């Protein structure tokens, strides 16, 4: 192969590589940061999720019923997810003595997240909220999923509140407290 042919092959390889990196970056950006905050009040059943505890044992769907449940879908690679963690930690502290409220961080193990990395991430940030894994990505059964997405689920197992994105601690703190308190009063 001539020197000129080698250069052409190298140039083509570099172009293909750059296109791949740009495509992956674009996909990750779309998944990580929604174009806007979306908050919706709904009343629809939570689909079956194949969640598991950090030690690998399954979480039965029935464990998500009978209590007001806050599920937060997040990733260590997602800047808005990291930003909202202190608010979720505050919420968990607020309701820690109430056995009818449960809060669960759900990580779909995407983009390099693995149990060890997740444990380290939560420990370094003093996040005491129980974490779960969704290795089968069943969270996408809920609908188009962007990160972070926070759901508040009533005792019947129905999604009543859905928040996609993060626009600051104050609004998130207020809205989640209102939703949980409203469902507790029912």
The pLDDT of residue 32: 47
Where does the pLDDT of residue 33 fall: very low under 50, low under 70, confident under 90, or very high at 90 and above?
A: very low
62 vs 43, which has greater pLDDT?
A: 43
The pLDDT of residue 95: 97
Compute the CA torsion angle 149, 166, 34, 40 (nearest 10 deg). Answer: 60
| Residue 107 Cα distances to 4, 6, 91, 113, angstroms | 49, 44, 18, 8
**Do 69 and 81 fall within a single domain?**
yes
pLDDT > 90 fraction of the chain, expressed in percent and rounded:
68
**Do 24 and 84 fall within a single domain?**
no
State both tokens at 121: 């991430």
**Do 109 and 131 fall within a single domain?**
yes
**Do 6 and 66 fall within a single domain?**
no
Q: Are 157 and 45 in contact (CB under 8 A)?
A: yes
Q: What is the pTM of this model?
A: 0.80
Indicate which CATH number applies to the domain containing 166: 3.40.30.10
Mean pLDDT of 130-135: 95
The pLDDT of residue 110: 92
Q: Are 71 and 150 in contact (CB under 8 A)?
A: yes
**Do 143 and 160 fall within a single domain?**
yes
**Do 17 and 105 fall within a single domain?**
no
**Do 106 and 161 fall within a single domain?**
yes
Q: Are 132 and 141 in contact (CB under 8 A)?
A: no
Where does the pLDDT of residue 18 fall: very low under 50, low under 70, confident under 90, or very high at 90 and above?
A: low
**Is the pLDDT reported for residue 93 higher than 90?**
yes
**Do 106 and 136 fall within a single domain?**
yes
Segment among 8-17, 98-107, 177-186 with least mean pLDDT: 8-17
141 vs 150, which has greater pLDDT?
A: 150
**Do 58 and 120 fall within a single domain?**
yes
**Do 101 and 27 fall within a single domain?**
no
* Domain region containing 28: 1-32
CA atoms within 13 A on the CB side of 138: 15
**Do 55 and 113 fall within a single domain?**
yes
The pLDDT of residue 35: 46
The pLDDT of residue 21: 55
Domain tally for the chain? 2
Q: Distance between CA atoms of 153 and 114, rounded to whole angstroms?
A: 26
- How far, rounded to the nearest angstrom, does the alpha carbon of residue 122 sit from its chain's CA centroid? 14
**Do 156 and 76 fall within a single domain?**
yes
């Amino acid at each position: 192969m001539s020197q000129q042919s080698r250069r052409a092959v190298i140039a083509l390889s570099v172009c293909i590589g750059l296109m791949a990196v740009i495509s992956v970056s674009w996909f990750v950006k779309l998944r990580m940061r929604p174009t806007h905050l979306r908050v919706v009040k709904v009343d629809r059943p939570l689909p079956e999720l194949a969640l598991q505890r950090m030690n690998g044992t399954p979480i039965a769907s029935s464990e998500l019923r009978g209590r007001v449940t806050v599920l937060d879908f997040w990733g260590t690679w997602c800047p808005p997810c990291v930003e909202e963690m202190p608010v979720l930690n505050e919420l968990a502290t607020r309701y820690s003595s109430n056995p009818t409220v449960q809060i669960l961080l759900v990580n779909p193990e995407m983009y390099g997240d693995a149990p060890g990395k997740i444990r380290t991430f939560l420990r370094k940030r003093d996040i005491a909220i129980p974490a779960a894994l969704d290795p089968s990505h069943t969270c996408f059964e809920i609908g188009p999923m962007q990160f972070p997405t926070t759901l508040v689920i009533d005792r019947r197992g129905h999604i009543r509140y859905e928040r996609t994105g993060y626009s600051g601690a104050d609004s998130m703190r207020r809205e989640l407290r209102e939703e949980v308190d409203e469902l507790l009063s029912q």
